Amino acid sequence: MQTSAEVIVIGAGAAGLVAACELGKRKFQVEILEARDRVGGRIYTRRDRNLNAPIEFGAEFVHGKPPEIWKRFSSFRKTLLEADGDNWCSSGSELSRCNFFDQVDKVLKKMDDKSSDESFLKFLARCWPNPQRDQRLEEAKRRATAYVSGFNAADPDLVGMHWLVESMRAEERIDGERAFRPRNGYQELLDSLEQELRTPQATIHTNAVVEAITWRPGSAQVTVQEAEGVRVREARKVLITVPLAVLQADAGQRGAIRFSRQLPAQKLAALEKLEMGKVIRVVFCFRSKFWEGVRPLRGEDVTLSRLSFLLTEEELFPTWWTRAPDEFPMITGWAPFRAAQQLSGKSESYVIQEGLAALSRVLRIPRETVEREFERAYFHDWQNDPFSRGAYSYGKVGSDGAQQTLAEPLDHTLFFAGEATDTTGNNGTVHGAIASGLRAAKEIMNSGH
């Protein structure tokens, strides 16, 4: 069976939804095809009924004040709440206030994209050899490496220095060191986009798995596996917004898209220069904020009552955060890179138990106390999700210009968006995905009806 539309958008994540909204305003007839049974892509919010709190399985923070998000939240009168509280660090057998940020900044700011590109680990070895084994510098190097692998979900032996420099500049432009959350979760953003799409110009099809795209200039056919069977949908233009790792997936794998003609060599080369980061995150819900009674500093009447972030040297869950300043008794455990590799594919009970054990160790609270307070946990294995195959993208050594190449349209017929195609240095972010959707929508409009 065949159906037709003016534009087909593949993927109902932030990029696809925003692009569809912009095209709808210009009266383009748009069909959105989403493989999952929900919209949002790597934005995935549910609500814990007992706590009446949003639970984020994917994106949670708004980093800085990117206009792509702030203007939209302002337009539908929703609040962004700044993450506020105390940052603590765990090293060895002690908890202490984090005091290494300045030293880490000094390490990172020595990166220079005017010299030849190299991996972050090679940059450290070259610029910070530390033959005297100064312990403070060694800690700064460890913490800087943890930041690169944690914040960017990246392999420090693969991620390119040039890409890191560009990302840091992009963060500085939007005050990216500050972190905010939508008060009721990122679902608020999805709700606003879905509301805009409730027009005769736009149709969303969920459980629609795109298997193949055939195209020639000005015409494309998309083969889709739907509940009713295989269907071919036709359009003059197709916007592809699937995650990087889905584009990289081998033919025959679930979620992979088969192209009737091989993508151009330069686009395939761009795909090779980008990598999908890995993360497992678990949201733990407890009966109370039991960590409030922990007194980490001997001889001082200071507790963890204002705990926001906890940075540790744990192997599996090195980073933790609360919902501060909200009072929900919740803590999120963050397992990036190698930790995610170790946890991905494991059972839910295994991941939860490993997380509870790690939390007991870093808080110096007996395991039985933590388990007595524990009620439930939430997590999603993005690496084993065939429609994401990872967390978010980063650039490898030599990736300069790869995002731009990946974003370039083909034959005025195939267009590309998604955070991996963002050219502003904001890869891996929701605002980067939105910016790419806005850019792709303009490209489609400028190519004519």
* Peptide bond between residue 325 and the one before it cis (omega within 30 degrees of 0): yes
Contact (CB, 8 A) for 187 and 54: yes
Tens digit of each residue's pLDDT (9 = 90 or more) over 211-253: 999 999 999 999 999 989 999 999 999 999 999 999 999 988 9
Q: Where are the alpha helices (DSSP H) in 230-293?
A: 244-248, 265-272
Which one-letter amino acid corresponds to residue 277? G
User: To 5 degrees, how large is the angle CA 318–CA 320–CA 321?
Assistant: 160
Give the model's pLDDT for residue 449: 58
Give the model's pLDDT for residue 3: 58
Spatial neighbors of 353 by CB under 8 A, at least 6 apart, are none
Best CA proximity match to 85, nearest among 306, 328, 293? 306
Q: What is the DSSP letter of 310?
A: E
Q: Which residues of the chain are under the pLDDT cut of 50?
A: 1
d(CA 194, CA 207): 17
Spatial neighbors of 164 by CB under 8 A, at least 6 apart, are 108, 111, 120, 148, 152
Strand, coil or helix: 358? helix
Q: What is the DSSP letter of 384?
A: G
Q: What is the DSSP letter of 217?
A: T
Best CA proximity match to 16, nearest among 436, 449, 443, 447? 436
Best CA proximity match to 14, nearest among 446, 438, 448, 444? 438
Strand pairing report for 53-56 and 209-216 = unpaired
Contact (CB, 8 A) for 311 and 98: yes
Neighbour count for residue 151 (Cβ, 10 Å): 16
User: What are φ and ψ of residue 117, in 5° steps?
Assistant: -70, 150
Q: What is the DSSP letter of 334?
A: E
d(CA 426, CA 309): 23
Question: DSSP secondary structure string, 160-183?
Answer: BHHHHHHHHHHHHHTTTTSEEEET
Domains in the chain: ranges and CATH: 2-43+186-274+398-446 (3.50.50.60), 45-67+277-384 (3.90.660.10), 100-173 (no CATH)
Whole-model pTM over 0.85: yes
Spatial neighbors of 234 by CB under 8 A, at least 6 apart, are 2, 3, 4, 5, 219, 220, 221, 222
Strand pairing report for 45-48 and 53-56 = antiparallel
